[in-house]
Amino acid sequence: MKFTAKQIAEVLNGEVYGNPEAEVSDFAKIEEGKPETLTFLHNAKYEHYLYTTEASVCIVNKDYQPRKPITPTLVKVDDAYLALTQLLEYYHEHTKTDKTGIEQPSYIASTASYGADVYIGAFAHIGDHVEIGDNVKIYPNVTIGDRSKIGDHTILYSGVQLYEGTVVGNNCIVHSNAVIGADGFGFAPDKHGVYKKIPQIGNVVLEDDVEIGAATTIDRSTMGSTLIKKGVKLDNHVQIAHNVVIGEHTVIAAQTGVAGSTKIGKHNVIGGQVGIVGHIEIGDGVQIQAQSGVGKNVEDGRALQGSPAFEYAAYSRSYVHFRNLPKIVNRLNEIEKKLEDNGEKS
């Protein structure tokens, strides 16, 4: 499917600078742009590629002014990055294959129900008393446990496993091989030090507009619900333990682990490979840098780094000293030697 610069500007409410009839049929990174591709420039460190790219159209911020001649037609918008997201969504909606129907072989329990325009792929297994909404897409080899509920316009990609009682809201996306609702890691030692399993009788609830990455795992609660609130985005290979609550519109990057019963606030940004201990509370608007270890409560609005994590600004200052530690030690040794020498002479 082809689009002109003029059509792109109309979708984005932008302005065309150059040839409004310039056509594109694909997307490309700015350094790899070819004729009839569309790219974007948002980060100034990539500006030099704008003068060499062969892309036909480039989305830029309204205040951007090229310093040299360029090949692409520009579409100027308020925010190039957000505009690209909007355009990708538009492109996806107009080019995607909207699958419907039930493929065979698949198993749907007689007590299960589903709405209009669903797609259920081959080898899917849908258990007793499952409720599935309208326009839900369930790809092959998905298992939906008994008494689970799936909201409207939700997508479960191949290999997703929903244990019994899982609740998934509207407009959610769960990527391949995610496991939602497995038992929490609950064991108690007896007097002989033998660990006995604590039954996990709760469930997992994903509210609306949640996206779960591939191979991510979210454990069911011991009692009540492990709760992933509206708009949360979890990357691939994230582990969420039992009874955790994650607040609205928080994003968590890959390989992060959150231990049991921790409560995370809303609008937080948590980097990759972060470890968060159990039974603590993290406030709203918190930023935690990659590979940090969080072992205590965190107040609203803090930015943390390190293990154990502390204020990001203080960590950055401390890291400068850490890198210079060998020099500092040598200087201290020299000072001590001079003091010793002066003491002998006196």
Encode pLDDT of 292-307 as tens digits.
Answer: 999 999 999 999 998 8
CA–CA dist 340, 103 (Å, integer): 86
- The pLDDT of residue 96 is 67
Q: Cβ(330)–Cβ(312) under 8 Å?
A: no
Q: Give the amino acid at 46.
A: Y
254 and 106 within one domain: yes
Least confident of 40-49, 91-100, 185-194, 260-269: 91-100
110 and 16 within one domain: no
pTM over 0.85: no
Select from 230, 235, 229 the least CA-distant residue to 251: 235
**pLDDT > 90 in the chain, percent:** 82
60 and 164 within one domain: no
Query: Domain boundary residue among 62, 95, 128?
Result: 95
Question: Strands, DSSP E only, in 6-114?
Answer: 15-17, 23-24, 26-27, 37-40, 57-61, 73-77, 101-102, 107-108, 113-114
DSSP helix/strand/coil, 338:
helix
197 and 127 within one domain: yes
300 and 267 within one domain: yes
68 and 129 within one domain: no
Q: 216-269: per-residue pLDDT in tens?
A: 999 999 999 999 999 999 999 999 999 999 999 999 999 999 999 999 999 999
Q: Cβ(124)–Cβ(140) under 8 Å?
A: yes
144 and 237 within one domain: yes
Domain that holds residue 68: 3-95
51 and 143 within one domain: no
Active site residue 125: no
Query: Domain boundary residue among 79, 95, 111?
Result: 95
Q: How many domains does the chain have?
A: 3
Q: DSSP string spanning 275-293?
A: EE-SS-EE-SS-EE-TT-E
DSSP helix/strand/coil, 165:
coil
Catalytic residue among 48, 242, 267, 321: 242
CA–CA dist 6, 75 (Å, integer): 8
Q: What is the CATH number of the domain that holds 69?
A: 3.40.1390.10
